[in-house]
Amino acid sequence: MSILVDQRTRLLVQGITGKEGSFHAQRCRDYGANVVAGVTPGRGGMVVGGDVPVYDTVSQAVTETGANAALVFVPPPFAADAIVESAEAGLSPIVSITEGIPVADTVKVVHYLGGKDVTLLGPNCPGVISPAARCKVGIMPGAIHRPGRVGVVSRSGTLTYEAVGQLSALGIGQSTCVGIGGDPVSGMSYVEVLRLFQEDPETDAVVLIGEIGGTREQEAAEFITGSFTKPIAALIVGRSAPPGRRMGHAGAIITGRAGRAEEKVKALETAGAATVPGPALIGATMRDLLADTHAKPA
């Protein structure tokens, strides 16, 4: 079993005729995802990848192909409208890869989606992949993943790949890997992903990777304390970042003590998570955590 995507996912790619959209749509197909349609206004009637039809609108594509999920490669000025268009057509999840969407636009999108039965990942995220289901909706390198029972959730795309590479090298497979994105305003939170992992009988443990800025990691710690029963290894990066300095992601802005790495680490340790000392030890920490869990009497 996986979360968010599986073999029933029928993927629509917005911006499929662009350089990035066409490249990654094919990589998703190569991995096993069922890409059924693309959408680029004004390009309706085209065919890409040999057999994927392109439509002018999402609603037309859904009617013709039964698409039920969206992958967004639309340029920043138009990405918010693209997300709303997919939401109005009932697609979920909507995975927005686009980086650089104005925060004001994302605020409006998140407000619009409030109360609707639509899941948004991102923007500025690597996407989601379920190795056992052979379903990839995003830009992550599929070859490093292997099927297994450890979930991964992260704000950083690069560190997601690093975590997966270490886990796979140690023979630890993944159930689903989710990138929630690094922007200060975004869709799914750690809590929402952890809730799905908690309910997934085929996820035994979770790697959580956080960053400086915001309070999402503290919110995750609160959820772990009250509602999460599976082992979790947590890495917080940015410990050496100067206070007040923007570092990489737009969300990595330290505002007050809550946004600092040490405060996030403290909250997660208090919640019972095994904190990872550094990026090079993600896999080893999870290996030891699993060994310790299995050694305990039932």
Residue 148 sits in the same domain as residue 6: no
Rounded distance between C-alpha atoms, residue 15 and residue 74, angstroms: 5
Residue 217 sits in the same domain as residue 296: yes
Q: Write out pLDDT tens, residues 214-238.
A: 889 999 999 999 999 999 999 999 7
Could you tell me which residue, 42 or 292, shows the higher pLDDT?
42
pLDDT grade for 2, boundaries at 50, 70 and 90: confident
Residue 225 sits in the same domain as residue 275: yes
Give the residue numbers spanning the domain of 100.
1-125
User: Above 90 in pLDDT, residue 125?
Assistant: yes
pLDDT grade for 298, boundaries at 50, 70 and 90: very low
pLDDT grade for 47, boundaries at 50, 70 and 90: very high
Mean pLDDT of 29-37: 98
- Sheet of 205-211: strand order equals 135-138, 127-130, 174-179, 147-154, 205-211, 232-237, 274-275
What's the token pair of residue 245?
A: 């300095």
Residue 93 near residue 128, CB atoms below 8 Å = yes
Q: Write out pLDDT tens, residues 49-73.
A: 999 999 999 999 999 999 999 999 9
Beta bridge partners of 147: 174
Q: How many domains, in total, are found in the chain?
A: 2
pTM of the model: 0.93
3-state secondary structure of 165: helix
- Check residue 197 and give left, alpha or beta (phi > 0: left; psi -120 to 50: alpha): alpha
What residues contact 256, with CB distance under 8 A and at least 6 apart?
none
Residue 18: CB atoms within 10 Å: 18
Mean pLDDT of all residues in the chain? 93
Q: Write out pLDDT tens, residues 242-280.
A: 665 555 554 555 455 667 889 999 999 999 999 999 999
Angle between helix axes 216-227 and 261-270 (nearest 10 degrees) is 0
The pLDDT of residue 213: 84
Residue 9 sits in the same domain as residue 58: yes
Q: Is the dihedral of CA 149, 119, 164, 182 positive or negative?
A: negative
CATH number for the domain harbouring residue 2 = 3.40.50.720
Does residue 251 fall inside a structural domain?
A: yes
Residue 209 sits in the same domain as residue 236: yes
Q: Write out pLDDT tens, residues 167-214.
A: 999 999 999 999 999 898 999 999 999 999 999 999 999 999 999 888
Residue 246 near residue 198, CB atoms below 8 Å = no
The pLDDT of residue 76: 97
Specify whether 249 is catalytic: yes
Residue 47 sits in the same domain as residue 157: no
End-to-end CA distance of the chain: 24
Active-site position among 24, 145, 249, 294:
249
Q: Is the dihedral of CA 11, 104, 253, 220 positive or negative?
A: negative
